[in-house]
Amino acid sequence: MSTPMLASHEGVSTEVNATEHRALHSWEPRDHYEMLQISKLVPGSGRVCLVGRVVNFYEQPKPTKMPRAAKGCLKVHLRDDSGVILVRLWYAQVDYQLRLGQLVSLFATHISDVDPVGSTSRTVHTASYAATIFPEHDNSCYVDIQADAIYGALIRTPLGYDSEKQLAGLITLKSFINGGHEVLDGKVLVFVKSVGGRKKCTA
């Protein structure tokens, strides 16, 4: 992106720049977008900006012969320090090259509640809200992937973490395999080293 993105949060001007993703058209907001944490979102129309990390995503292709029609949808779970949002990111020509852990700025014009009907999540992160965007067709929405070299320490702690308290439900990977997966709100703290095909693991 050639120009910085500006948004106001509690009276403070926040500069969002240093993007590493250049596959999408150059973009800058033409109107004011209110910068909010995910927990502060309200369903309905309105220009909002939020920043979160990719904690899960999967693709739903939609084959078509129409050159400008959507060819698929990326369902992305973004998390900040307050909650999780499901982003339905439609695409036609753009390759977003998402990775787990990437820091993403989302500019959207409508927020909705997550539809519980048929929404079996593929992640332990339960989304409270959803946003559907198609930046190639709608110039009022955008996703901006930030460079970790500048924002590497932002949004790195688990949800609900308090430095003065033990994280509730934290168990070892071995305990999880040996029945801990049945524990309500059980948590395993892991470091994602690589992403690839399934492998047989032993604890």
CA dist 170 → 122, 162, 190 (Å): 20, 13, 11
Cα–Cα distance, 104 to 78 (Å, whole number): 8
Output the pLDDT for position 12. 32
Q: What is the pLDDT of residue 116?
A: 57
pLDDT of residue 188: 80
**For position 20, what pLDDT does the model report?**
39
Do 47 and 33 touch, CB atoms closer than 8 A?
A: yes
Q: How many whole angstroms separate alpha carbon 69 and alpha carbon 73?
A: 11
Per-residue pLDDT of 40-92, as tens digits, reads 999 999 999 999 999 999 998 888 777 778 889 999 999 999 999 999 999 98
- Sort 129 into a burial class: Cβ within 10 Å, 0-12 / 13-18 / 19+: buried
- Asked if 4 and 15 count as a contact pair (C-beta separation under 8 A), the reply is yes
- Report in angstroms the alpha-carbon separations of 122 from 61, 86, 100, 177, 203: 17, 11, 14, 18, 23
- Going by pLDDT thresholds of 50, 70 and 90, the confidence category of residue 135 is very high
pLDDT the model gives residue 186 = 76
Give the model's confidence band at 30: pLDDT under 50 very low, under 70 low, under 90 confident, else very high: confident
Q: Determine the pLDDT at residue 203.
A: 58
Residues 101 and 53: their CA atoms lie apart, in Å, by 5
Question: pLDDT band at 104, cuts 50/70/90?
Answer: very high
